[in-house]
Structure 1
């Protein structure tokens, strides 16, 4: 809207009203009879400038909307200058399939049988042979039932502890995305207490997770591994004579319950290749292994910690997701065909994968050693084993390790409240 402001000498000065305010140019006072020509000239000169101004405002507005809402680019929190990443879109069908545990019903039935004292079809585990080694007056009525002659108070106490431990574990067996934020309390606090330290919520400054691959024999990582505040080793792989490649320091021995089951056959349930004071963290492969835990826990001088089943379920879902995703992308087959290719009811994450997940939860920085295979290298640096079991999908786990290092937001099922720390993989 335009207006005319008349000066004392009768000349006219053009004014413009923008959002309720009048703007004028006193220096441009002109006679009123020339005002029409003047305004026409002004319009012609202002029009291109006004067009450019409009385009500039439009571009700025569009850019701002893209920044705020994510758009095609990463965005910033304008108040805190914090990088905000757009959400990752996961395939809902794949997520649902990965979250399904085909062995859940079988596992529940087995747990119920064990709690009732029915050990049918568990003879291959030789559990009772293990128990008799510790207490010789136990007599079993049959191979399918619990011993009926409970003449030993020690055995009765073990039996009660076994049922309590198994029952508590089974009750907590549910999915909880933010379980990663509880690992400091569940794992680090007991270890700190054992080491005479106050339980602190502060994580370990640096952690080394040492795998057992034969590729370590081609490296001299020993000194680098030992320089970490916490060193986590897998399944009692020995370090003696391999110190130059794998180091000698051990803060946590991470094992699966099959390892403890083998140890339970030894006198005194000895399972300490790194010394009797090194804490052991174990995940349960089979519920019946709580028998071995009950016996061995009584003799361990260091903490013998069982991983929380909520943590186990998180690891299981992540590994299955990566395995199914890889299967579908590489073969072009349907999701349902994955089970027959990987023996779905027996499919499981490796000890190494869960040890890495554990380190992510209790460490500020994580270094990974001895993960990977080479045709020219031994399968394990400390054994002559030729190949791994089919119940693991190592290629899928390698894809997971790549994502925790390069693209953590691509990892499914982990709560947004948990921040994955920096990870370095040493090949």
Structure 2
């Protein structure tokens, strides 16, 4: 049959565009039934074409890779797409995860005890008086006859006062909401702009919508900063995130002077709550504070102090906390498993079991990944003879953190972010630079 000139000039789109909404099985069936090949040619190319088609379908629609190592552990790979929107084929640099370590990283050793503690707190049971007095707010609301007990605004209160009732109801509401949301949610990274940055922008009088910071500097507290003059470089970023109220006075040439977000753990706020009006503003009372909750009872500190804060005091979403915890534990387990003469059963004892936790620096970096287009890390690392913190005399590290595992995580952020477990494949990692 002779084709017309119009038929000859027809440009057929690629097969993945024609059948992009079809299943792989339907694509194969439709292609072999189509007029793409004449009947004699169909018989000749069917075996070869079937193999080629299988390769195209697998490469286009994703695959799962499973390899067993010498110890019997199965490594797995999640679905991936080879052909992007522009029909570009990226390199097949596939991340590989240890399924055993993934399962172990999902386990929260102290979860049962935490749930029990939350239930007791919701019922008003703080354990005992000695335990109660460890909280900065006990004198204000649980005075036990202490005539000096006052609110952050200097109002005398008793445990039956209207002032206490309002605080207690809010405490229970915040703790209950936090407890219910504390679960794994891999897409939380894409919600950090709305959860954190939008509130900070409103406080600063900005209405930029869900726009990320163009660049962020996360300033760690390592003593290695004392040998660096990063001050001007740090301050050149649109946003600067500092950790746990680290001093900047007398260290401006090393760490800069600009602060956009003060990132702290709730133990820091607990100490601040002892001061008048819960003063916790070494970078100025207008600097927003983002805080992750270390102990559920410290929501009492948050409720009391939040009422006197001029700037936002934002508690991190517990789903974000869970994601950070799983990532750090995976890297710690992996490092432990790769060490000679060690077994995974020994990991729990080596890292204080239920006390094991990510550092404030790690979660601040994770926050920056979600709210910044470019992330620069300063003061993350250590060297022989350097102090643990640039602004203190502390040299020993806390055993509840695994800093070496976190350094492995930072390295992957720079060179192969897709190898980081538990983060949704939909999340687009920003460019990360480490200044050593």
- Give the number of equivalent residue pairs: 371
Which residue does 1:311 correspond to in 2?
320
| Whole-angstrom CA distance in 2 between matches of 1:360 and 1:417 | 14
Q: Deviation of residue 343 (structure 1)?
A: 1.2
Q: Deviation of residue 216 (structure 1)?
A: 0.5
Which residue does 2:210 correspond to in 1?
201
Which residue does 1:352 correspond to in 2?
361
Q: CA offsets per residue over residues 265-289 of structure 1, 9 Å max, x none?
A: 1111110000000000000001011
Go from structure 1 to structure 2 and tell me whether the alpha carbon gap of 1:137 and 1:81 turns closer, same or farther (over 3 Å shift). same
Residue from 116, 120, 133 that aligns with 2:127 = 120
Which residue does 1:362 correspond to in 2?
371
Go from structure 1 to structure 2 and tell me whether the alpha carbon gap of 1:180 and 1:336 turns closer, same or farther (over 3 Å shift). same
| Whole-angstrom CA distance in 2 between matches of 1:420 and 1:19 | 48
Corresponding position: 1:192 with 2:171? no
Q: Deviation of residue 123 (structure 1)?
A: 3.0
Residue from 259, 265, 272 that aligns with 1:256 = 265
Corresponding position: 1:218 with 2:227? yes
Q: Deviation of residue 131 (structure 1)?
A: 3.5
| Whole-angstrom CA distance in 2 between matches of 1:288 and 1:237 | 24
Residue from 74, 81, 91 that aligns with 2:87 = 81
CA contact (8 A) 1:190 1:199 kept: no
Which residue does 2:249 correspond to in 1?
240
Q: CA offsets per residue over residues 199-250 of structure 1, 9 Å max, x none?
A: 5111110000000011111000000000000100000001111100000000
Tell me, what secondary structure is at the counterpart of 2:304?
helix
Q: Deviation of residue 399 (structure 1)?
A: 0.2
Tell me, what secondary structure is at the counterpart of 1:260?
helix
Q: Which moved more, 1:103-112 or 1:338-347?
A: 338-347
Q: Deviation of residue 419 (structure 1)?
A: 1.0
| Whole-angstrom CA distance in 2 between matches of 1:129 and 1:139 | 17
CA contact (8 A) 2:272 2:280 kept: yes
| Whole-angstrom CA distance in 2 between matches of 1:97 and 1:59 | 39
Go from structure 1 to structure 2 and tell me whether the alpha carbon gap of 1:58 and 1:113 turns closer, same or farther (over 3 Å shift). closer
Which residue does 1:267 correspond to in 2?
276
Which residue does 2:331 correspond to in 1?
322
Which residue does 2:116 correspond to in 1?
109
Residue from 278, 300, 320 that aligns with 2:309 = 300
Corresponding position: 1:95 with 2:63? no
Q: Which moved more, 1:61-70 or 1:93-102?
A: 61-70
Corresponding position: 1:409 with 2:418? yes
Go from structure 1 to structure 2 and tell me whether the alpha carbon gap of 1:369 and 1:107 turns closer, same or farther (over 3 Å shift). same
| Whole-angstrom CA distance in 2 between matches of 1:288 and 1:94 | 31
Q: CA offsets per residue over residues 280-317 of structure 1, 9 Å max, x none?
A: 00000010111111111011110000000000000000
Q: Deviation of residue 139 (structure 1)?
A: 3.9
CA contact (8 A) 2:110 2:354 kept: yes
Go from structure 1 to structure 2 and tell me whether the alpha carbon gap of 1:125 and 1:350 turns closer, same or farther (over 3 Å shift). farther
Go from structure 1 to structure 2 and tell me whether the alpha carbon gap of 1:68 and 1:86 turns closer, same or farther (over 3 Å shift). farther
**Structure 2 runs not aligned, ≥5 long:** 1-36, 41-47, 66-79, 147-156
Corresponding position: 1:422 with 2:428? no
Q: Deviation of residue 357 (structure 1)?
A: 0.2
Residue from 149, 154, 162 that aligns with 2:163 = 154
TM-score (norm 2): 0.78
Q: Which moved more, 1:372-381 or 1:285-294?
A: 372-381
Larger Rg: 1
Q: CA offsets per residue over residues 107-129 of structure 1, 9 Å max, x none?
A: 00000000101111573563455
Q: Which moved more, 1:330-339 or 1:109-118?
A: 330-339
Q: Deviation of residue 408 (structure 1)?
A: 0.7
CA contact (8 A) 2:186 2:422 kept: yes
CA contact (8 A) 1:264 1:296 kept: yes
TM-align CA RMSD: 3.0
Q: Deviation of residue 62 (structure 1)?
A: 10
| Whole-angstrom CA distance in 1 between matches of 2:326 and 2:129 | 27
| Whole-angstrom CA distance in 2 between matches of 1:108 and 1:61 | 53
Go from structure 1 to structure 2 and tell me whether the alpha carbon gap of 1:58 and 1:226 turns closer, same or farther (over 3 Å shift). same
Q: CA offsets per residue over residues 331-360 of structure 1, 9 Å max, x none?
A: 343322210111111100000000000000
